[in-house]
A and B are shown apart, each in its own frame.
Chain A
């Protein structure tokens, strides 16, 4: 018996593990993904395209993209600022701050929506003041943007913190000691270093922003053609037994998910390449 055999599973074990794992993934991931498109195209391509042309579906697509775009700059600014403070400096309460950033991952989306109803709703803390000034937040687009912000703000920060910690601060310190201003250092040293991690976080937070259902559903008021994002529109069509319409709208979101997975895989591959390159550049320095 060679050691090679004892450090690997017997062939029948390998084959059964492969079969179990792949069957599980087929039934729980592959089949549902396929079913979205199969159901959308169940009555042929023309019916599918007709369903997509419906004005309410179009306005839902527009609103979904609009909210995702509105949220993006806030999430980037927060992600970069939080990661800069946490990764490059030491201060008290840092781990508490990191836990706080993780909070939206643990809070139910329904609770996330509810807290803003309590603040801005008709009976909410700021409700009377808002209605006196004729400002609508709940059951309107501002509330949907705020709820999406709550759900998506950690994604970019969570990607950037470990990345910037791993990169250390020598490069930035060198730039500053050579006389670079803060902004010069940021644009020429920090940003090029974190660009792939930032893009990765943008991809993840964007996917969540476009797909968020629970939190947005609570604050939206479900006003057709006005406060309907694509995921909410899917629900309305499905509950009206308009299966083709619901799955046509769902197929757009599924396509978006596939684009997200593809982009994510490419960026992961780029990041891996970059860290490998960095490792080969740094290796001789460490040995000398």
Chain B
């Protein structure tokens, strides 16, 4: 421990200095500049822009679709993570690698492909539209694109946590007479819940800012299927720089809050893990006894 105080290793000043200068130039200066630009408007005017009918509709579409997509991914992500960790099946390695496809595939490619698939004459759209389900060029299309883009988050945060569940906890619960469902809902689920919530929050946060994949499938009708990032761009293209900046600052503030929330969730998950309740307590809780 004593060696830590007088640093043996070289390069601390250089490495930290470089990191701070680089971050300041690339991140803090530009973001600070944007906030400064927005301050030309003043808080009241920013709020007027953010609360105008068109902006409010865009926020509603953006957050509503993101919430739906993250929820769908929380459910299916849990199922996918579970089968990837627990069940053997042929081609599992391939499927596991494929889960990261949305991280690797450029969003524009995802956008044109999904809108082609779900358009009225597309492979999926041609089956769905006779049933009265229109996906492409509607708000539902936004949800589909966001499900694709944020699919890996829940799976990848859950996988290591499910792998870490000690099999003796489950065995203890079972030997005390818990049914498989009781063991899952009272022992396993509480253990993976923080990771599930973290994955959900990451998916939501990514979905709120997504642009590339959504614009191809959304239809982009103001008030109906226009997302906030697109509204920022259309303001910019109409030379309404201040209007675009006002919306961007609101988005930035929301991103900050989400990031802080995710950090808190991760901290909570890590700390919960440290004070994990004793095995017997968890097992007996599974059969409904008092720990």
Contacts and interface: CB of A to CB of B under 8 A. Distances in A.
Do A and B truly interact? Answer: yes
B236 interface: yes
B9 A118 contact: no
B38 to A, nearest CB: 9
Contact of B106 (A14, A18, A253): A253
A35 B212 contact: no
A129 interface: no
B5 to A, nearest CB: 9
A36 B229 CA distance: 25
Interface in B144-187: 147-148, 151, 167, 170-171, 174-175, 178-180, 183
The secondary structure that dominates the B interface is helix
Contacts of B15: 81-82, 84-85
Contact of B4 (A24, A78, A90, A230): A90
Nearest to B208: A108
A230 B107 CA distance: 12
B14 interface: yes
Contacts of A191: none
B229 A250 contact: no
Given A100-B23, A173-B9, A182-B11, A17 B256 contact: no
A30 B285 CA distance: 41
Nearest to B263: A99
Given A89-B12, A185-B10, A186-B11, 15 more contacts: A10-B180, A17-B79, A31-B123, A90-B4, A91-B16, A105-B205, A108-B208, A108-B211, A111-B34, A119-B30, A150-B27, A231-B107, A250-B109, A250-B113, A261-B100
B76 interface: yes
Given A117-B236, A213-B107, A253-B105, A28 B147 contact: yes
Nearest to B10: A182
A31 B117 CA distance: 9
A226 interface: no
A6 B179 contact: yes
Contacts of B56: none
Interface string A1-26: 00100111110011001101110110
Contacts of B282: none
A207 interface: yes
16 contacts: A6-B180, A18-B89, A22-B89, A36-B113, A77-B18, A81-B22, A97-B19, A100-B27, A110-B209, A173-B3, A211-B108, A217-B233, A250-B112, A250-B113, A253-B109, A257-B101
A185 B8 CA distance: 12
B113 A7 contact: no
B104 interface: yes
B87 interface: yes
B215 to A, nearest CB: 8
A29 B101 contact: yes
B112 A18 contact: no
Contacts of A199: none
Interface string A106-117: 111111001111
Interface residues of B, number: 95
Which of B30, B89, B97 has the most C-beta atoms of chain A within 10 angstroms of its own C-beta? Answer: B30
10 nearest CB pairs, A to B: A108-B209, A211-B106, A6-B174, A213-B212, A182-B10, A257-B104, A115-B30, A214-B211, A110-B229, A85-B15
B16 A114 contact: no
A106 to B, nearest CB: 4
Interface in B214-260: 216, 228-230, 232-233, 236, 241, 244-245, 248, 251-252, 255-256, 258-260
A126 to B, nearest CB: 9
Contacts of A204: 103
Nearest to B112: A238
B107 A7 contact: no
Contact of B79 (A21, A27, A32): A21
A118 B245 contact: yes
B19 A20 contact: no
Interface string A252-273: 0110111011101100000000
Contact of B233 (A84, A110, A121, A123): A110
A32 B148 CA distance: 9
Contacts of B4: 90
